[in-house]
A and B are shown apart, each in its own frame.
Chain A
Amino acid sequence: MKELQIKAAELLENGTVNLLIGFCEDLGKRLVPCFIETAAEANILVFNQECKNNLSVYLHKKEVKDAVKIGLVANVATLRSVLQLLSENQLWSLTLTYLTVNGAGELVVLRSAEELEAYVQANFPTCRPEDQEMLDKLNAMSREERWAFWKDQLSECVKCYACRAVCPMCYCTVCTTECNQPQWIKTSAQTSGNFEYHTMRAMHLAGRCINCGECGRICPAGIPVHLLTAQMNQEMEQEFGGKTGWSLKGGYAMNTFKPGDKENFIK
């Protein structure tokens, strides 16, 4: 942890970074995002496997973008989502420097998109075992059981939109939920409106989500919404090949096509 703080202070000192987004501990010993602008504050930085927040979502925030030169202390999932965002032509107006700790515990500093791509491909994360187990359990269920499962879960949703707020891929200026001509998604948190919202969100993230799991982890109502996009990811990888957040060229599966795409369900 010491080298991370020293490197961060150095980056802030020599001006390669105006604002560094990292983790620190709050009163309750919880790991929370922190925003450091001066080298002196760098000693509060902390980084370990428990740092799960996907900090790349802050790169869309106006107050953060104003700093232009931004440092990001990131786990591999965050790096993968930055790579996916770069492949979607986002964030190119920022000069980003990434600080991460690799499997062997050494501090790694990535200064360019190419270095980022190489690092992510070398340490490409796989689906977390507990998620895979839940996915298999759900896929093993009958349709009625799955309907009952999601009906019970989605009736808990209060439409606080925290899942949309923490997702780096959800950066639309006006979200479908905020459109009221026509009213695509009901504003009130009734179960049918929640179904519409989560179906729409899963469809808009299919082929883009990098499965960092943040939406399910932070949901106040404890709904595993990350399973929806995780399932979509796995099916689209089998069906269309290619992985999300794998390369700068990206290639969003839903806006290309192959003549040989799956067709057995079309009469």
Chain B
Amino acid sequence: MAETFEPKIVAFVCNWCTYAGADLAGTSRTKYETNVRIIRFPCTGRIDFMLLIKAFQNGADGIIVSGCHPNDCHYTSGNFHARRRWMVFKSLLDFMGFPSDRITFSWVSAAEGKKWAELVNETTDSIRSKGPFTDYRTLDYTLLTQLENEGIAD
């Protein structure tokens, strides 16, 4: 483990606004943490909740989901549908005891390069303070393999 824990943040962003915002942050030389890995989607409406679970399972410690402000959506209603989906998904994760505060939802328009940089820095600091997210990845054992994993067998 490195001395300071470097979180892996996965960002699911919509192509028309947030990705352009991130691009603007780049062209205007705004510095922001490098822990974020950006995945481009045509719209937040296309981001499937299963992708977030897969990201957590494959090693993500924090997730940013960001897209166009309401009424800015290139496909007119993608972000409205997404908003409802994230509201339901966030409460489902809370109900199942999943640390849904590791997922940050936001609207970042193409002109808000600075907001994107602040968003990434904020998220990285908060996830860094929370530490690595291993709950999900250490779930896998059954009756007897459970004992093998707990080393009783050794």
Contacts and interface: CB of A to CB of B under 8 A. Distances in A.
Interface of A: 138-139, 143-151, 155, 176, 184, 189-193, 195-196, 198-200, 202-203, 206-207, 228, 231-232, 235-236, 239-240, 253-255, 257, 259, 261-263, 265-267
B50 A176 contact: yes
Nearest to A206: B88
A144 B85 contact: no
Contacts of A195: 53, 96, 136, 139
Nearest to B93: A199
A254 B85 contact: yes
Interface of B: 49-50, 53-54, 57, 70, 77, 80-81, 83-99, 104-107, 119, 135-137, 139-142
A129 B105 CA distance: 35
Contacts, number: 115
B89 to A, nearest CB: 6
Contact of A200 (B50, B84, B93): B50
A235 B136 CA distance: 25
A257 B80 CA distance: 6
A196 B53 contact: yes
Task: Please give me the 6 A-B residue pairs with the lowest Cβ-Cβ distance, nearest first.
Answer: A147-B97, A146-B97, A257-B80, A191-B139, A267-B106, A192-B139
Nearest to B98: A147
Contact of A207 (B54, B88, B135): B88
Given A259-B70, A261-B83, A266-B105, A155 B142 contact: yes
Contact of B57 (A189, A192, A231, A261): A192
Given A146-B97, A190-B140, A192-B136, A203 B80 contact: no
Given A143-B97, A261-B80, 11 more contacts: A145-B97, A155-B139, A189-B142, A190-B142, A228-B96, A231-B91, A231-B92, A232-B91, A254-B84, A261-B83, A265-B105
A203 B141 CA distance: 25
